Structure 1
Amino acid sequence: MFAFLAENLAPIMFLSLIVILLMGYPVAFALAFVGFLFGFVGIEMELLPASLFGAIPDRIFGQMSNETLLAIPFFTFMGLILERSGMAEDLLDTIGQLFGPVRGGLAFAVIFVGAILAATTGVVAASVISMGLISLPIMLRYGYDRRIAAGTIAASGTLAQIIPPSLVLIILADQLGRSVGDMYKGALVPGLLFVAAYAGYIIVMALLNPPSVPALPLEARTLRGWKLVRKAAISLIPPLALIFLVLGTIFIGVATPTEGGAMGATGALVLAALNRRLDLAMMRSALYATAKLSSFVIFILLGARVFSLTFYGVNGHVWVERLMTAIPGGEIGFLIVANLLVFFLAFFLDYFELAFIIIPLLAPVADSLGIDLIWFGVMLAINMQTSFMHPPFGFSLFYLRSVAPARAYRDRVTGETIQPITSGQIYMGALPYLAIQLAMVAIVIMFPGLVTHYKSNAIAVDPSTIELEVPMPGDAGANPFATDGAGAGQVPAVDFGSPTPDFGAPQD
C-alpha cells in the first residue's frame, strides 16, 4: 500500500482536488487544503522534506509583487464605470437605429455593441446584464424569436472573454510566462472572426426564417438623416477613442498593459463625468466590485501556489508530461486532448479556475512539443469561452436569466402582453453560438497564422550580420545564469508560474 501511494501520489492528489471541487467547496480554499493535506502526507511518508512549506512565503510575496496582475483591477474598474455611465444604452439605441431597416437589425446591434463593450469593459457579466436589460425588451416587443434573442445577447456578452482587454488573457499571459501585449495581438483576429461569425448566423436566420428576426418598424425608427449621423458620432467616437487609448498604446509599445489599464480607468472616469453620471455612489459601487473581483482572483492564485508547490514536489508535472506526451498524434493529438479536457472541465469550473489549475500543467508540455504558447493560450481562451455558454451551468445564461422576464407583462409602448422567456428557450438559443465557439477552436488549430501574426511586428534581423562571441568558463561576461563553467551559454528556462521547488536535496 505504501509503495502504491508513493508512486501514485500525484494522480491521487489531482483526483482529490476534482472531487472536492465537485462537492461545492470554494476553489481557493480547496486548492490550499489539498496542497497542505498531501504536503503533510508526503512529509510523513518521507517523500518530501520537512521544510516543504518554507517556500510558501516567497511564493506569496512573488505574486503580490507581480506588476502584470495590476492590470486586472484597472480594467475591471474601467468596465464597471463605463457600464454604469449609460454608454451601453446609448450605443444600443444608436446602432439599433442604424440597422433598423434591416432584418435582424437589433440582433446586429447587440453583436456589434457587445464587441465594443468587450473592447472597453472586458467584463462578461457587465455586458450580458446591460444588453439584457436594454435590448431584450425591445427585441421581444417587435417579435424576435425568443431563442434567437436570448442566445444573441448571451453570446455577444462572452466576446469580452476573447477581445482585448480581456481579463482572462492577462491571467493566461501571466501563467504562460508570455507578454500580455503579444497575447492581446494574437487574440485580436479570432475575436473579430467571432463577431463576423455571430453576424453570419443572424444573416442565415434572416434568409431561412425571416419572421424570427424582423426589421424595426418605421414608427420605431425615430432618428433619420443628419440627426442619426450626429447621434452616431456622439455615441461611437468616445468609446472608440478609449479603445485606441488602451489597446492602441499597448500594441504600438507606448504603454504596458498595466499602464494602459490605468489610462483606461482614467478615460472611463472622464467619459462618465461628461455624461453627467459620475457621482460618489457610482464610485463606491465600482470600487467595491473591483476590490471583490481582484480579491477573488488573488485568493485563487495563492491557493493554486500552495497546490502547485506540493504537486511539483511529488513530481506531478512529470506525471502530466508523460501522460500528455504519450498521446498518439504528436502535437495535434496533444492539442485535441488538451482542448477536450478544458471543454469538459468548463462544465464545472470558470475561466479563472481553469487558468490557475490546468494551464500550469499543460504549458510545459506544450512548450516541450514546440507549440507557440501565445497560439496555445488564445486557443484555450476561446475554449474557456464555452464555459459561459454551457447549458445548464453557463454563467452568461445565469446572468441573462436574472434579467429576462420570468412572467408575462404588459409592454409600456405597445400595450400588448409579452410572454416570459423560459430557461429552456435560453438554453436552446445558446446552442448555435456554442457550436460556433467550438468551430472557432478547430479553425484556430488548423490555421495558427490567425494568432501567430503577432510575430510580424518583431524586428527582422539578418543572421549573417550577427557576430556571436561565446564566453569561456571563467571569462568576464560569462553567462550570469550559469553556476559553473558547464552552464555557460545557457538561457534560463521559461517560468510557467509554478517552478519546481528546490528542497535542498543533499549533493553527492
Structure 2
Amino acid sequence: MELFFLALLVLLMAFALGSGFPVAFALPGSAIITIVLAAGSGYLFSTGPDAFFDSGGAYQWLSAGVTNFRGIYWEAERDTLIAIPLFVFMGIMLQRSKIAEDLLVTMARLFGPVPGGLGISVVFVGALLAATTGIVGATVVAMGLISLPAMLRNNYSVPLATGTIAASGTLGQIIPPSIVLIILADQLASAVDQAGTIRQTLFKDSTGELSMPSDFAVVSTSAGEMFLGAFLPGLVLVGLYMLFILGFALINPKAAPAVHEEGSFNREFAGKVFMTLVPPLALIFLVLGSIIAGVATVNQAGAIGAVGAMVMAGYRLKEGEKGAYTPAILGIIALMGVAVVISFFGSVNIKRINSSQDILALVLALISVSLILIAIFWSGWRTMKFEDTLRGVMVETAKTTALVFIILLGAAMLTSAFRAFGGEHLVKEFLQGLPGGFWAQFLIVMLVIFILGFFLDFIEIAVVVVPIVAPILLADPSANVTAVWLGVMIGLNIQTSFLTPPFGFALFYLRGVAPAVVKTIDMYKGVIAFIALQLLALAIVGLFPQLVNYLPNRSSLLSETAPPPQNPRLQYCMENLIYEDFQNNGDSILSAISTAEGLDVSYLPKGLQKDLAKGYEKARDALPQMSAIREAENAVAAAAGDYRPLHVEVRALERDARRLDERIKNLSVIVQRAGPNGIYTEAQGAAAAKKIEVLTAEKEALLAQIPDEWEAVHKEFAAIQKAETNARRSYRRTVDDAYEPMLEVKAILRDAEKLAALESEIVALKAEIQTLEPAAAVEAIAAMRSKVGEVEGSRDIRKGLTDARKIMRSKTPDIVAASAEIDNSLAALAADLEWRQRGAKELLADLLTYDTAINRNIGLRQQDRLPDDMALDVAACLADHRDISLNF
C-alpha cells in the first residue's frame, strides 16, 4: 500500500501543478492530503493510522517538513537563506532605476559594428545583469523591451533575436550572485551530512573498520563556494553564446547584420560607456570580490550589494540634475578613507587607544563611517521620494522572498511525505541498481532534472529533487565528487527550465513584451540552439571538474583561515608535489642535510644533540620513503586493473544483500509485534514471517553468487593497499620527527636575548619578595614564572621558580628557602645562556639555511600554512575527482 500512496502523492502534485494551482500550495497540499488519506485508510481498513507508512506515523511526517524548515533558522551555521532578500532587493533596485536600460543601449552601440554585434551586446549585458541583479523576469522583460525592437529593425532573424534575449536573461541562474545557487547550497548542506553517514556506514560494512580515514570524507560546500564554483562555468556559457552568435552572423550575415552608426565613437560616447559600465562592474567587484577574498560572508556581501544598488539608483534617478553624483562621491571618498585606515593603521578598537596614532586612526575611521552613512541615507531618501521607488522595490522584494520561502516550506513537507512512503529507498535502490555505477546514476538524475524543467520552476526542482538524489550521488566513492561540483552541474541543468517549452518562464516573459509580429513558434525555434549550448556547457563542466573546483580550493588555501598543511585532505596532493621536488632537488636536499650534520653542536645539551642527530637521520630516510610511497602506489594501480571488476561485482551483491537484510529487519519487527496484544494481526505476522523466509533465501542466493576466489583476491589486494597506507603513514611520521628537533633548537636559540633580559628581573624578584607578604610574593613569583615560560626550552629555569612559589604557598612560608630556589633558577639561567648565546651567534644562521632547504618538502607539514605557489598547485590537484572506491 505504501507504493499506492507514493504514486498518489506524485499524481496529486502533477495534477495540481498542471491545473495551474499555485506551487506554494500545490506542494504542501499534495503532501497533507496523501498523508491524511493514508492515515485514515490505515485506521479504517487496517491495524491503525500508521499501518500504511514505510516508517513512523502521520503526525511525525506532517510535522517533519515544518521541523526541517524551522531548523534552517535555528541552526547558526545554516543562515545562508538570509542572503536571498538582499540579492533580490539589489536586483529589483537596479532594474527599477533603469541602470539595466542604460547598459543595453550603450552596449548595443558599442558592439553594433561587429557581425552579430547586437546579439553579442545582449549576451554581454545579460552577463553583467546576471552578476548584479540575477532576476530572470526583470532581465528578460528589460532586454525584450529595449533590444528586441532594435534587433528586428536591423533585420535580425526573429528566432535568433528572441532566443538570444531569452537565453541571456537566464544567465542570472548560474552567474553569481544567484538565488538558485544559494538554495542549492542550503539543500546540499543537509545532503552532505546524509552522504557522510552513508559513506561511513559503507566503509564499515566493507572493511570492518569502525573509523573511516578523514581524507575519504564527503567534501561539503557553502553559498560562497557555490558562487566561486559557478563563476568559470558561467563565463564558459557566456563564451559559447557569443561564439554561436558570431559564427551564425559570419555564416549568414543577413540574419545578424552589423549595425554602423555615424559619428557615435567620440569622447562623449567613451565617457558614456565608462559611466555606464564602471558602476555595475564596481558593484560586482565589491560583492563577488569580498566573497572571493574572504572579507565578507555571502550574507554580508548581499548587504553590500543591496546598499551599493541603492547608491547607484540614487544618482541614476537624479541624472542630469545638479548634485546627482554627490552621495556616490561621498561614498567613494569614505571607502577610500576606510582603505587608508586599514592599510596604515590596521584594526581600530576604541577600547585600545594607547597613542596619538590610535586616536588619529579612530578619528579617520569615524569620519569615513559617518560619510558612508550619509551617502546611504541620502541615496535612500532619493529613492524613496522619486516615484516612490524604494517602497515599490521593498514590496516586490517581500513578495519574491515570501514566495521562495513558502515554496521551501511546501517542498520540505512534500519531501517528508515522499520519504514517509518509502520513496527515498525506492530511488536509492533504483539508482544503485543501474549498471555503469556513478555515471549511469548521474546521467539518469540529470535527464530527470532536464525533463522536469519542461514543467517545473527551478525552485521546485532544487528543493524537491536535490534532497532525495544528492546524498546518493555524493556518497558514491567511485566518483568522489564534491558537493560544489554537483551543485553547479544541477544549477546549469536547472537553468534550462527557463527555456524549455511548454512552461519556460523566460519564454512567457518575452512573449508578454514582444510585438505581435513575433510568433511564439519562432521563439521556440530560437531557444533550441541555446538549450543545446547549455547542454554542451554541462558536458564541458562534467568532463573538466577543475572549472568548478579550482576557485573554491584556491580561495580556501590562500585565505587567512587556510587549513594547515597537516590537514588530512591535503596530504595526497602535497606528497605528489614533494615527490617531484625530491626528484628534481634530491641531491641539493641531501647536501643540505650533510652540511647540517657537520655543524659543531658539542656545546649544546646532550638531549638536544641527540634530537638533532636523530632528526638528520630521519631527514635522510624521508627521500627513500617517498620513493617507497610511489612504488606502493604503482603496485596498487597495477593490481587494480584485474581486481576492480571483481570488486564491483562482489560489492554490488553485498549491497543488494544488505538491502534484503534491512527489509528482513523491518519484517521481524512486525512478527514480534503480531498477535492478540500486538499492534499487528496474526495474519500480518504470518505473512511477514513467510516473506522473511523468501527474502532470506534471496539473500543466500545472492551471497552464493560471490566467486570462490574473492576472499583470496581481496586479501591479496588489501595487503597491497595496506602497504601503500603504511608507507604514507611511515613517511609522515618520519618527516615530522625529522623537522621538529630543528624547529625546537631554532626557537631556543632565537630566544637567547629574551632570556638574557630576564636575568636582572629575576634578581630583582629575589630582593622584592623579602619585603612582601607571602600572598603577594606568590603572585610576584607566579608572574615571573609565566614570563620565563614564554621563553622556549626554559623548563629547567622555571623549576626553581615553581619550587619557590610552592614554598611561599605552604602553611609555613620560608623566605630563605624560596630565595635559594630562585638562586637555582638563576644558576640554570646562567648555564643556559652560555650555550644559547654561543649557539645564536655560531649555529642559528646555519640552521636557518638548513630550514630554507627543507621547509618546502621535509618540513612542509610543520608549517603554519602552505606557501602560495604550492597552495595553487595543491588547489589544482584537489580540483580533480579521485576514485577511492577500492578502499571500500
TM-score interval (norm. to shorter): 0.7 to 0.9
Q: Which residue of structure 2 aligns with residue 126 of structure 1?
A: 138
1:284 aligns with 2:391: yes
Q: Which residue of structure 2 aligns with residue 318 of structure 1?
A: 425
Q: Which residue of structure 2 aligns with residue 462 of structure 1?
A: 565
Q: Secondary structure at the match of 1:218?
A: coil
The residue type equivalent to 2:466 in the other structure is I
- Could you tell me the TM-score, scaled by structure 2's length? 0.49
What is the CA distance between 1:8 and its match in structure 2? 5.7
Q: Secondary structure at the match of 2:454?
A: coil
1:330 aligns with 2:437: yes
Q: Which residue of structure 2 aligns with residue 496 of structure 1?
A: none
Distance between the aligned counterparts of 1:376 and 1:54, measured in 2? 29
Distance between the aligned counterparts of 1:310 and 1:422, measured in 2? 42
Aligned 8 A contact 1:98 1:228 in 2: no
Aligned 8 A contact 1:11 1:316 in 2: no
Q: Deviations over 1:206-244 (max 9, x none)?
A: 21101111111334xx52232222111111110001001
Q: Which residue of structure 1 aligns with residue 412 of structure 2?
A: 305
Q: Secondary structure at the match of 1:386?
A: helix
**Within-5 A mapping of 1:220-369:** 222-276=263-317, 278=383, 279-369=386-476
Q: Which residue of structure 1 aligns with residue 34 of structure 2?
A: 38
What is the CA distance between 1:348 and its match in structure 2? 0.6
What is the CA distance between 1:10 and its match in structure 2? 3.9
Distance between the aligned counterparts of 1:132 and 1:54, measured in 2? 44
Q: Which residue of structure 2 aligns with residue 62 of structure 1?
A: 71
Distance between the aligned counterparts of 1:465 and 1:400, measured in 2? 51
Moved more, 145-154 or 167-176: 145-154
Distance between the aligned counterparts of 2:124 and 2:460, measured in 1? 29
Aligned 8 A contact 1:331 1:371 in 2: no
Q: Deviations over 1:98-149 (max 9, x none)?
A: 2222121111111101100000001111111111111111111222121111
Higher RCO (C-alpha under 8 Å, 6+ residues apart): 1
Q: Deviations over 1:50-96 (max 9, x none)?
A: 64145455334324555211111111111011011121222122222
Aligned 8 A contact 2:144 2:513 in 1: yes
What is the CA distance between 1:334 and its match in structure 2? 1.1
Q: Deviations over 1:337-380 (max 9, x none)?
A: 01100011111101011111111111111111133221111111
Q: Which residue of structure 1 aligns with residue 535 of structure 2?
A: 438
Task: Give 2:83's match in structure 1, choosing from 67, 71, 75.
Answer: 71
Q: Which residue of structure 1 aligns with residue 483 of structure 2?
A: 373
What is the CA distance between 1:30 and its match in structure 2? 2.2
Distance between the aligned counterparts of 2:151 and 2:65, measured in 1? 53
**Structure with the bigger percentage of helix:** 2
Aligned 8 A contact 2:50 2:57 in 1: no
Distance between the aligned counterparts of 2:276 and 2:567, measured in 1? 53
Identity of aligned residues (%): 43
Q: Deviations over 1:459-487 (max 9, x none)?
A: 36434999xxxxxxxxxxxxxxxxxxxxx
User: Once superposed, what is the RMSD of the aligned Cα atoms?
Assistant: 2.3
What is the CA distance between 1:313 and its match in structure 2? 3.2
Moved more, 147-156 or 63-72: 63-72
Distance between the aligned counterparts of 1:301 and 1:320, measured in 2? 21
Q: Which residue of structure 1 aligns with residue 260 of structure 2?
A: 217
Q: 1:331 to 1:93 in 2, by over 3 A?
A: same
Aligned 8 A contact 1:83 1:126 in 2: yes
Q: Which residue of structure 2 aligns with residue 22 of structure 1?
A: 18
Aligned 8 A contact 2:109 2:261 in 1: no
1:402 aligns with 2:543: no
Q: Which residue of structure 2 aligns with residue 429 of structure 1?
A: 526
Aligned 8 A contact 2:133 2:172 in 1: yes
Task: Give 1:167's match in structure 2, choosing from 172, 179, 185.
Answer: 179
Q: 1:223 to 1:217 in 2, by over 3 A?
A: closer
What is the CA distance between 1:42 and its match in structure 2? 4.5
The residue type equivalent to 2:160 in the other structure is I
The residue type equivalent to 2:482 in the other structure is D
Distance between the aligned counterparts of 2:30 and 2:127, measured in 1? 39
What is the CA distance between 1:437 and its match in structure 2? 0.8
Aligned 8 A contact 2:66 2:412 in 1: no
Q: Deviations over 1:163-211 (max 9, x none)?
A: 0001100110011113000101110011001111011011111211011
Q: Any gaps of 5 or more consecutive residues in structure 2?
A: 40-48, 190-220, 319-382, 558-562, 570-668, 674-888
Q: Which residue of structure 2 aligns with residue 106 of structure 1?
A: 118
Aligned 8 A contact 2:2 2:422 in 1: no
Moved more, 248-257 or 447-456: 447-456
Q: Secondary structure at the match of 2:257?
A: coil
Q: Which residue of structure 2 aligns with residue 500 of structure 1?
A: none
Q: Which residue of structure 1 aligns with residue 335 of structure 2?
A: none
Aligned 8 A contact 2:456 2:503 in 1: no
Distance between the aligned counterparts of 2:317 and 2:3, measured in 1? 64
Distance between the aligned counterparts of 2:294 and 2:149, measured in 1? 43
Distance between the aligned counterparts of 1:214 and 1:383, measured in 2? 32
Q: Any gaps of 5 or more consecutive residues in structure 1?
A: 407-419, 467-504
The residue type equivalent to 2:511 in the other structure is R
Q: Report the count of equivalent residues.
A: 451
The residue type equivalent to 2:150 in the other structure is I
Q: Which residue of structure 1 aligns with residue 152 of structure 2?
A: 140
Q: Which residue of structure 2 aligns with residue 181 of structure 1?
A: 224
The residue type equivalent to 1:260 in the other structure is A
Q: Which residue of structure 1 aligns with residue 328 of structure 2?
A: none
Task: Give 1:386's match in structure 2, choosing from 481, 493, 496.
Answer: 496
1:80 aligns with 2:92: yes
Q: 1:338 to 1:115 in 2, by over 3 A?
A: same
Q: Secondary structure at the match of 1:206?
A: helix
1:198 aligns with 2:206: no
Moved more, 429-438 or 313-322: 313-322
Distance between the aligned counterparts of 2:308 and 2:396, measured in 1? 19
Q: 1:60 to 1:180 in 2, by over 3 A?
A: closer
Q: Secondary structure at the match of 2:426?
A: helix
Q: Secondary structure at the match of 1:374?
A: helix
Aligned 8 A contact 1:366 1:373 in 2: no
1:89 aligns with 2:101: yes
The residue type equivalent to 2:554 in the other structure is S
Q: Return the index of the structure with the highest Cα Rg.
A: 2
Task: Give 2:57's match in structure 1, choosing from 43, 49, 52.
Answer: 49
Aligned 8 A contact 1:347 1:394 in 2: yes
Q: Secondary structure at the match of 2:388?
A: helix
Aligned 8 A contact 1:392 1:427 in 2: no
Moved more, 26-35 or 83-92: 26-35
The residue type equivalent to 2:311 in the other structure is V
Distance between the aligned counterparts of 2:535 and 2:421, measured in 1? 35
Q: Secondary structure at the match of 2:450?
A: helix
Distance between the aligned counterparts of 1:55 and 1:105, measured in 2? 53
Moved more, 329-338 or 274-283: 274-283
Q: Which residue of structure 1 aligns with residue 638 of structure 2?
A: none
Q: 1:373 to 1:143 in 2, by over 3 A?
A: same
